[in-house]
Amino acid sequence: MGVKKSAYRQPVTPEGLKAIENGTLTWLDDEMYNNLNTGVLEQYLEEKNLKESFEISHWDTKKVLVGIAIGAIFSGVTAYIGLKLGLAISAAWYIAYLLGMALKWSPSEVNIATSATTGATHASTGFIFTFPAIFLLATNADYALADGPLISLEDGEAMRLAFVGIVASMFAGFLGVMYFIIFRRVWLVEDPLPLPGFEATLKMLDISSDVSTGAVKHARESLKTIGLWTGLTMIGLFLIEYPLIWVGERKIALMDWFAELLTADSFGLASFYSHGKIHQPGEVVDGMAAGPANWSSEMWYNPFSYTYLGIALTPSMFAIGWFMKTRVAFLVNLGTIVGWFILVPLAVGLNMPVYDAMVQANIPIQEYSSNGRSDALQMLAFSKTVRTVAIGSIVGGGLFGLVKMWRTFANIFGDIGKAFKGDGGQEYIEGKGWYEWPLSHIPLFMILTFVSMIVIFILGGFPMIASIVFAFVLIATTFLLGAIAVRVMGETGIEPVSGTSFIVLLMLLGVFLNFQEFLNLSTEEAVLLGLVGTTVFGSAISMSGTVIGDYKNSLYIGNRPYHISKGNIMGVVPGAIIGAGVAIFLSIQLAEGRIDLIAPQANAFATFSVIFAEGQGDLVLLGLGFLLGMFVEWATGMGTSFGLGMYLDVPHTLPMLIGGVARDKWEEKKLQPRIDAIKEKEGTTAAEKQRALILLGTFMIAAGLLTGEAFFGTESSVLSFVDSLWSEEFANSSTWYIARLVSFVALNVFIGGMIYILFKRAGVIGGSEPEEALVLDA
């Protein structure tokens, strides 16, 4: 029989094989690192863990609750970032790791606690990507039909849908964790998936085990760094975005006021800076920025009337670029470049007809200028044509990415069979306890979830037969598409939540819209059920993708898989409630125009719902985008990211590229020479640990940028909502203006004070030893 091979499988080293044969290879030693993803190492460690993990892997409820609290809080932060940028990036696990290191937890304790953190953070993913589409369809004029919106939400309707979505997502999240138990041994032990990037978290666990490296001190300094950069980011955004200055009847940000101060009637600083963006020359009317240059037949030669270029002062995009590095950031920017340098200028220059849903007709785009509309034509071209192409590209890239891996998926059923035949190893060790969660619980939980979904959706006002159909689709798609999504994540490091969610939405809408009479559904109910159902599915497979990373790290440090499963499951409930609550609140504010969030996936889901329910929209552009996404996926493997970049504008993606290039240049010019010097003086092991610590410091700055913008944006959304509760007269009065400002400052002082007290008690601030018992009892 030949040696088993795969594109990512590594050969075992002679030294590693010798250490395995002698039984001297252990967790976190050099030979372990040299033999990651060999299969031989993983099977050896699995046998070692079966014997020895019970002495290492201990459950501590208090520490797990700390992890859950961090994850639950940052689930709201993740919701804001996801809606703003279309990327559900979270810094929660960094902070949980750092706090555990600062409190001198063992690697086992850190791994178990952060499994609860990641579970809480990702339990509400569906509410970030899909659920906002419901509110966009109900209130946003861009999705209105000739006879009104496709969906109308009566009083209390949003709460009803939120109840259904949140409770159903909890059960779906449990199911997502349970399903991956089937594949743990097959995909992490026997033929281990590489999960690119997991080495960073493994190295952090390694560092936490070695106090002599200064890990505790460094962790405390990193936590201070997060706090400092969060504060600086919020102060910067306060100057850029908060309506601090009252000029006549207008309340504007300090930076906009300063730009207008240095602007004449028709030209000045406001021509190049406005509303948090440094941009191409724009129009100025009476000393105030009036948006991008408008196209006109007399000034047709003005190149700036065909596109919109600039840099948004958004710290989070720079931070995301820093995490991505140059290649991925460039591929996202490539979509933006194609959109704004090729497609938008073509649409404006060639006078392309754009679909107007209000009149249900195609209108040549230049007619909008002759009709006296204030919209800049390049912005109309972007919103009505390029974004349709981008949506098609997101879907085409995501689906083709799955199709490309058909050879991998062909073996999935064999893997399932192997797992259920008993090849999954020992679950319960006599006299010691559970090693991994029993497979026998999965069929029971499938039945429980199936029944629960039916009950939840019936209580939510949906017909019984339709609820049964959805429950069946959820069980099947979470199992099959979830397996595909996790396999993709295991091989690429990216889980295609959006791509698989589009498949589920198409399935649900196809069934519900074509069998409305049999299922006793109106068109509105069919669309609502499809979107709520896709929301639930997104949360389920996101949990499957989350648990794989926790399992992989646990194998290399000697933790029991049972504790990882338990931690993720415990994090689901608070994460689903808080994360979904924040996402729903922000979605309502977004749909009603109180905040400006891009929400590309939600807009894509809303567009598809209109097209399939009413046949509206430009299917040709959608199809072209679909083909373009497939081509880019084939050529680069980043079709979905390309489509996402096309959906964004240049000012928002350029900071991402700047961040990615800055990271690579910094590593090349500053980090590598320093690491080479350490390697020459102290050896490779010490150098690599220092590399991880130094990189971690930069990640904490990036995490502070993300957290600061998310906190500021959420607080601003709350204030905008409170504004709407008052009468227009009081909301625009000096009394409320002063009270609003004082409340905003007081809220942040209070939050900052609470964090300071927590860090002080933990020993993070002040240099004392951590009062661990006090922190954990708090």
Token pair in block for residue 628: 């373009």
Q: What is the mean pLDDT of residues 132-142?
A: 85
Give yes or no for residue 616 having a pLDDT over 70: no
Please choose, from the candidates 318, 324, 320, 315, the residue with its C-alpha nearest in 3D space to the C-alpha of residue 711. Answer: 315
Element at 310 (helix H, strand E): strand 310-312
Task: Provide the 3-class DSSP secondary structure of residue 580.
Answer: helix
Quick: pLDDT tens for 713-744. Answer: 778 777 877 877 787 788 778 888 888 889 88
> How far is the C-alpha of 288 from the C-alpha of 265, rounded, in Å?
8
Element at 353 (helix H, strand E): strand 353-356
More confident of the two residues 617 and 110: 110
Give yes or no for residue 75 having a pLDDT over 50: yes
Question: Is 707 within 8 Å of 226 (Cβ atoms)?
Answer: yes
Alpha helices in 3-106 (DSSP H): 14-22, 30-34, 40-52, 61-85, 92-102
Give yes or no for residue 188 having a pLDDT over 70: yes
Distances (CA, A) of 47 to 50, 583, 726: 5, 43, 65
More confident of the two residues 69 and 502: 69
CB-CB neighbours of 1 under 10 Å: 3
Quick: pLDDT tens for 284-337. Answer: 888 888 888 888 777 788 888 889 999 999 888 888 788 778 887 887 788 899
Q: What is the 3-state secondary structure (H, E, C) of 257-301?
A: HHHHHCECCCCEHHHCEECCEEECCCCEECCEECCCCCCCCCCCC
Question: Is 89 within 8 Å of 595 (Cβ atoms)?
Answer: no
Helix axes 315-338, 684-725, angle to 10 degrees: 90
Question: Is 309 within 8 Å of 650 (Cβ atoms)?
Answer: yes
Question: Residue 529 CA to chain centroid, in angstroms?
Answer: 23
Token pair in block for residue 482: 């979830």
**Average predicted confidence (pLDDT) for the chain:** 80
Report the pLDDT value the prediction gives residue 412, as an integer from 0 to 100: 56
Report the pLDDT value the prediction gives residue 85, as an integer from 0 to 100: 65
Weakest-pLDDT range from 64-78, 505-519, 685-699:
685-699
> How far is the C-alpha of 58 from the C-alpha of 3, rounded, in Å?
37
Highest mean pLDDT out of 164-173, 178-187, 316-325: 164-173
> How far is the C-alpha of 308 from the C-alpha of 304, rounded, in Å?
7
> How far is the C-alpha of 253 from the C-alpha of 309, rounded, in Å?
22
Question: Residue 20 CA to chain centroid, in angstroms?
Answer: 39
Quick: pLDDT tens for 228-281. Answer: 888 899 999 999 988 888 877 788 899 999 998 998 888 889 889 988 899 999
> How far is the C-alpha of 691 from the C-alpha of 689, rounded, in Å?
5
Report the pLDDT value the prediction gives residue 3, as an integer from 0 to 100: 41
Buried b / exposed e across 331-354, counting CB within 10 Å, b at 16+?
Answer: bbbbbbbbbbeebbbebbbeebbb
> How far is the C-alpha of 560 from the C-alpha of 432, rounded, in Å?
12
Q: What is the mean pLDDT of residues 674-694?
A: 81
Report the pLDDT value the prediction gives residue 65, as an integer from 0 to 100: 92
User: pLDDT band at 405, cuts 50/70/90?
Assistant: low
Report the pLDDT value the prediction gives residue 414, as an integer from 0 to 100: 59
Token pair in block for residue 624: 């072209």
More confident of the two residues 502 and 759: 502
More confident of the two residues 775 and 233: 233
Q: What angle is formed at CA 199 by the lines to CA 195 and CA 200, rounded to 5 degrees? A: 120
Report the pLDDT value the prediction gives residue 373, as an integer from 0 to 100: 52
Give yes or no for residue 163 having a pLDDT over 80: yes
Question: Is 233 within 8 Å of 528 (Cβ atoms)?
Answer: no
More confident of the two residues 611 and 512: 512
